[in-house]
Amino acid sequence: MAGDAQATAAEHGVDFHRLVDDALHLFCVAGTDARFYWLNQAWPELLGWSMDELLSRPFLEFVHPEDIAATLAEVEKLRQGQPTLKFINRYRTKDGSYRSLDWLCTPYPDGKLYASARDVTDRVAEQKRMREQVGWLEMAEEMGQVGHWRIDLATEELYWSPQVYRIHGLDPGSGTPPLKGGIEAYHQEDQRRVRDYVNRAIEKKEGFSFQLRLIRADGEERLVHSRGEVTLDPVTGDVESVFGVFQDITDRFQDFQRSNEALDQFAYAAAHDLQAPLKTIRGLVSLLKHDLKHSDELTPVLDRIVESSTHMQALIDELYRYARLTGSREELTWVSLEGVVRDVCRNLTADIDAAGAEIKIDPLPDVLGRSTLLAAFFQNLISNAIRYRHPERAPNVYVYAMRTEEEHRITVADNGIGFKPADKAKVVRPFSRLGRDKKGLGMGLAICQRVAQIHHGELEIDSEPGTGSRFTLVIPAGEMVPET
């Protein structure tokens, strides 16, 4: 083969040895006696040894001690007539460092070995670094109960990290399921939503986040949180893949539920247990006022006690209402939000008329929820819009809705006095009032936020002083109610 190449080069007036010497790859002729017979110039240039040094010593003297056994095994295979493909060993340079060489070698009947090698030191180092990073990542994922996944859109192949397998209750060595199988691992009621999230991400070239139910291999239901992003082709801008992270949040969610239930029970018990002593105090004060009705000195003091106890009674009533509301075991049913809002407005007719308020209600969806809680949600917002109206204009309240594939967004917008954006976190804390509030107890928006959480949603708030406020209930969209 080497002779044929030299003959062909000579026929075309090409100096074969010069051609090989000028090559970037390493070329050599060696023997199974572990010696080089011929080397091109790339060898001394790469390793730093002179040509004489390389040719005068067995090549095993240059091989890394840890690679000698494997190199001898490869030489034995060559002696038996088997070619070498993609064998990597390390050669020592004159400065004591090592270079990794990737070999291609063919044995000939005359006992000579014709070989070429590439310097792959940088590639080997990069592969080692990547293996270490993957190892660290897998360790971190296992500790944090977080996995990662990737969908290749060209091949529709699904990749799972080991932790994703564990979350599914599968052995990481069991083989990655097809894309369809990955989606079918979710609860039957949630599979459509998973497809919608992925398809929307591809169509809109944007990320997504969801919390849905997963059915493990053993049938156990778990709650998982997944976040995804898309990668784009740098030339065409098309989506190449979808990748993301995946976490089992079942235990955390259950802890959160237990904590909330404990807080709700505490609030309920506290409100209930405070009722009796407060009634006793108010009764005794009433008796004192009757007995001391002619005492000009004590009457103002008793009036202050009555005022304070009345305020405390109002706080207890609100706490009691909050505890009863958040501890509600009302069944989930299909609720007509439009009907709920109109009922609320009928209940508030006197306040609406007194303030000269205008309430506009767009068509609102039917949602899967708890009607009592949703009524409390809208009653608080509409009452607040009337209570905190702008002194220079009549209240206008606009209730409208938007729907996406994933969620309902129901907004109550008003033209009231508003508040600073920096106060958004404060207004939803129980018993928290802004400086403008002299009469409220600070529970209305806390109740609204709790209602949103109970419906697995959130309360979005947008407000500016002097302009008004928008409160948006964002809840997952279920299937539409069948028409009858």
Q: Which residue has the higher pLDDT, 474 or 176?
A: 474
Phi, psi values for residue 446, rounded to 5°: -65, -40
From 196, 214, 248, give the residue that closes a domain.
248
**Window from 95-99, 444-448, 458-462 with minimum mean pLDDT:** 444-448
Nearest to 454 by CA among 226, 191, 264: 264
Q: Could you tell me if 113 and 78 are in contact, meaning their C-beta atoms sit under 8 angstroms apart? A: yes
pLDDT(373) > 90: no
Could you tell me the two tokens for 42? 């790339």
Could you tell me the two tokens for 378? 């809208």
Inside any domain, residue 127: no
Inside any domain, residue 453: yes
- What distance in Å separates the CA atoms of residue 188 and residue 215, rounded to the nearest whole number? 9
The 8 Å CB, 24+ separation contacts for 307-313 are 309/278, 309/281, 309/282, 309/285, 310/282, 312/278, 313/278, 313/282
Name residue 58's amino acid: P
pLDDT(203) > 80: yes
pLDDT tens for each residue of 378-392: 988 999 999 889 999
pLDDT(481) > 50: no
**Window from 68-77, 129-138, 157-166, 338-347 with minimum mean pLDDT:** 129-138
Mean pLDDT of 112-135: 84
Mean pLDDT of 56-79: 94
Q: Are residues 365 and 318 in the same domain?
A: no
Cα first-last separation, the chain: 84
pLDDT tens for each residue of 452-466: 988 888 899 999 899
Q: Could you tell me if 445 and 384 are in contact, meaning their C-beta atoms sit under 8 angstroms apart? A: yes
Could you tell me the two tokens for 20? 């090989």
Q: Are residues 321 and 344 in the same domain?
A: no
Mean pLDDT of 188-193: 86
pLDDT value at residue 7 = 46
From 215, 230, 248, give the residue that closes a domain.
248
Reported as type and span, the H/E element at residue 347 is helix 337-347
pTM, full prediction: 0.44
Q: Which residue has the higher pLDDT, 139 or 91?
A: 91
* CATH value at residue 17: 3.30.450.20
Q: Which residue has the higher pLDDT, 70 or 406?
A: 70
Neighbour tally for 406: CB within 10 Å: 15
Mean pLDDT of 72-86: 92
Residue 449 burial by Cβ neighbours in a 10 Å radius (0-12, 13-18, 19+): buried
Q: Are residues 406 and 459 in the same domain?
A: yes
- What distance in Å separates the CA atoms of residue 23 and residue 291, rounded to the nearest whole number? 116
pLDDT tens for each residue of 176-187: 777 777 888 899
Could you tell me the two tokens for 182? 């990955």
Q: Which residue has the higher pLDDT, 397 or 425?
A: 397
Q: Are residues 390 and 439 in the same domain?
A: yes
DSSP 147: E
pLDDT(364) > 50: yes
**Window from 136-140, 302-306, 363-367 with minimum mean pLDDT:** 136-140
Which residues constitute the domain of residue 175? 143-248
Max mean pLDDT range (171-185, 231-245, 346-360): 346-360
Name residue 99's amino acid: R
Q: Are residues 391 and 286 in the same domain?
A: no
Number of domains in the chain: 4
pLDDT(358) > 90: yes
Inside any domain, residue 132: no
Q: Are residues 342 and 467 in the same domain?
A: yes
* CATH value at residue 362: 3.30.565.10
Residue 98 pLDDT class (50, 70, 90 cuts): very high
- What distance in Å separates the CA atoms of residue 157 and residue 194, rounded to the nearest whole number? 17
From 64, 87, 119, give the residue that closes a domain.
119
pLDDT value at residue 1 = 47
pLDDT(213) > 50: yes
Nearest to 327 by CA among 272, 398, 277: 272
pLDDT(99) > 70: yes
Could you tell me the two tokens for 294? 């002619």
**C-alpha triplet 473, 202, 474: angle, nearest 5°:** 5
pLDDT tens for each residue of 6-19: 443 344 343 445 54
Q: How far is CA 342 from the centre of its chain?
A: 38
| Residue-averaged pLDDT of the chain | 81
pLDDT tens for each residue of 335-351: 899 999 999 999 899 99
pLDDT value at residue 267 = 61
Inside any domain, residue 134: no
Mean pLDDT of 230-251: 86
Q: Could you tell me if 84 and 78 are in contact, meaning their C-beta atoms sit under 8 angstroms apart? A: yes
Q: Are residues 150 and 208 in the same domain?
A: yes
Q: Which residue has the higher pLDDT, 321 or 455?
A: 455
pLDDT value at residue 478 = 53
Q: Are residues 348 and 470 in the same domain?
A: yes
- What distance in Å separates the CA atoms of residue 88 and residue 71, rounded to the nearest whole number? 9
Kindly provide the residue ranges of all beta strands, DSSP E only, lying in 120-216, ordered along the sequence.
Answer: 146-152, 157-160, 208-215
β-pairing, 221-232 vs 239-248, is: antiparallel
Residue 275 pLDDT class (50, 70, 90 cuts): low
- What distance in Å separates the CA atoms of residue 163 and residue 144, rounded to the nearest whole number? 10
